[in-house]
């Protein structure tokens, strides 16, 4: 199974998008984050994050952009949030990255069903 580190992929995306953010007058800052391992390949995670940041640049007005990662063991996914200024205040866009492998979801909660 392919796995990717969200922190590593996020670093790559932000480095690739740095000039586009600067050209739009957006200053990116990040919160403290730990490495999060996801079951998707790095390229899939990269494209999802790149799409999020393109959406941010399309609607944000010049100013700060705060990138936050919400990673809790109680959730089925990791969430990447981008909070930024718009003309009428502040807005947040997010990207959900699943912790599960899609092909195994049909098993549901019946891991021990054969023992019944």
Tens of pLDDT, residues 95-115: 999 887 666 555 555 444 444
Q: How far, in Å, CA of 90 to CA of 60, rounded?
A: 9
Q: Which domain holds residue 90?
A: 4-115
State pLDDT tens for residues 2-59: 788 999 999 999 999 999 999 999 999 998 888 888 888 889 999 999 999 999 999 9
Burial 33-50 (b: 16+ CB within 10 A, else e): beebebbbebeebbebbb
- CATH number of the domain residue 11 falls in: 3.30.565.10
> Under 8 Å CB-to-CB from 23, ≥6 apart: which residues?
none
Instruction: Please say whether the beta carbons of 111 and 62 come within 8 A.
Output: no
Count of the separate structural domains present in the chain: 1
Q: How much is the pTM?
A: 0.82
Q: How far, in Å, CA of 72 to CA of 85, rounded?
A: 27
Dihedral sign for Cα atoms in the order 48, 54, 58, 61: positive
């Amino acid at each position: 199974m392919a796995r990717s580190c969200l922190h590593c992929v996020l670093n790559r995306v932000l480095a690739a998008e740095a000039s586009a953010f600067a050209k739009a007058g957006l200053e990116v800052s990040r919160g403290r984050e730990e490495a999060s391992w996801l079951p998707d390949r790095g390229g899939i995670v990269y494209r999802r994050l790149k799409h999020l940041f393109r959406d941010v640049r399309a609607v944000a007005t010049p100013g700060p952009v705060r990138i936050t990662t919400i990673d809790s063991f109680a959730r089925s996914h990791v969430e990447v949030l981008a909070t930024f200024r718009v003309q009428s205040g502040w807005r947040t866009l997010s990207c959900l990255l699943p912790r599960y492998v899609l092909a195994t979801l049909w098993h549901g909660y019946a891991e021990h069903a054969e023992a019944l």
